[in-house]
Amino acid sequence: MSDPREERAEELAEEADATEAVKEAQAEAKNRGEQTPERAILEEQITNAMNELRRPASGLFLSAFSAGLDIGFGPLLMAAVFTLVSEAWSDPLTSIVLANLYSVGFIFVVLGRSELFTEHTTLAVLPVLDGRASISDLGHLWGVVYVGNVVGGVIFASIAVTVGPEFGIADTAAFVELARGLTQHSLWGLMTAAVLAGWLMGLLSWLVAAAQETISRTFFVWLIATTIGLAHLPHCIAGNVEVLMGLLAGSEVGFFAYGRFLAVSTVGNAVGGSVFVALLKYGHVVRGGPGV
């Protein structure tokens, strides 16, 4: 009968070898001025996901809780600027500026290495596809990270709607207007848009792994988050803050609208990241042969 400690030591040794191989591939590609090989990106993604799957639930929750708080600065800045310029600027210009501000919270979270649910809709699925983790492992990670993100967002939204009007940062009308932009859609439209948002977040996880410099990682985060913001696509964690701020600030957004948005956007984001990025990227890299 095998010793679990020996098996665990072997697993860690294999992961260390894989990590070292990824670093060597990245360094070689950088020296040659080439892109990071796709197989190296996949291995890095799987290794990172395995590290997160093995983290204690308490540490995972605190990291996710931090992400739920940090991501709220984007919606808060959007509300602040909307309050200042909504009557002075044209609608197209306001939309472009708000979309760029939307990315601020994502930059804080991704570069700060906090746990974001929509990144794990792709990242944590890869070890399951590769046979290194189980569905129950994936469900545990998703559950802890999601709850931490939502709880953090609830606390941030509560602070924002209290401090914002009190200090003249943002009017309550701005919070409501931002929330209505996410809740006034048909069920099918909301679901489809959420799939696109999850798809983009999955691509973000892949692109950040491919990037070799902090500047390029920041650019990719800005690019993806601004695209989501400009297209008004529903992101379940950032949108949780936006819609909840509108709910707490006025009566035009109700609890049903908030719950509907959160449930539909969560499912759509998970489908977009898992199917259109994790499954397809894993499939084409694994089936592409050793040269990929």
Q: Give per-residue pLDDT as tens, 126-143.
A: 999 999 999 999 999 999
Q: 3-state class of 36 per DSSP?
A: coil
* Assigned CATH class of 47-286: mainly alpha
114 — pLDDT class (breaks 50, 70, 90): very high
* Residues 242, 29: Cα–Cα separation, whole Å: 41
Q: 16 pLDDT exceeds 90?
A: no
Query: pTM of the full predicted structure?
Result: 0.88
pLDDT of 212 reads 79
* pLDDT for res 9: 46
Q: Give per-residue pLDDT as tens, 217-238.
A: 999 999 999 999 999 999 999 9
Residue 99 in contact with residue 252, Cβ under 8 Å? no
76, two tokens: 């808060």
- Contact (Cβ atoms closer than 8 angstroms) between residue 276 and residue 199: yes
Q: How far apart are CA 208 and CA 220, in angstroms?
A: 7
Instruction: Please check whether residue 66 is in contact with residue 35, taking contact to mean a CB–CB distance below 8 angstroms.
Output: no
**For residue range 129-188, what is the model confidence (pLDDT) as tens digits?**
999 999 999 999 999 999 999 999 999 999 999 999 999 999 999 999 999 999 999 999
Rounded CA-CA distance 278/206 in Å is 9
pLDDT in tens, 63-80: 999 999 999 999 999 999
Residue 27 DSSP label: H
Tens digits of residue pLDDT in 27-37: 554 555 567 78
Mean pLDDT of 46-72: 96
**Tokens 């936006």 identify what position?**
242
Average pLDDT over residues 245-252: 94
Residue 8, pLDDT score? 46
Residue with tokens 């098996």: 7
b/e code 184-208 from CB counts within 10 Å (16+ = b):
ebeeeebbbbbbbbbbbbbbbbbbb
Residue that is written with structure tokens 């197209």 in the block: 92
- Percent of the chain past pLDDT 90, that is, above it, reads 79
Q: What confidence category does residue 87 fall into, taking pLDDT thresholds of 50, 70 and 90? A: confident
For 203, the 3-state DSSP assignment is helix
pLDDT in tens, 195-217: 999 999 999 999 999 897 999 99
Cβ atoms within 10 Å of 265's Cβ, excluding its own? 28
How confident is the model at residue 278, as a pLDDT? 96
Mean pLDDT of the region 95-110: 97
Place 10 in a pLDDT band, splitting at 50, 70 and 90: low
> What's the mean pLDDT when you consider all of the chain?
90
Structure token digits, residue 48: 């990172």
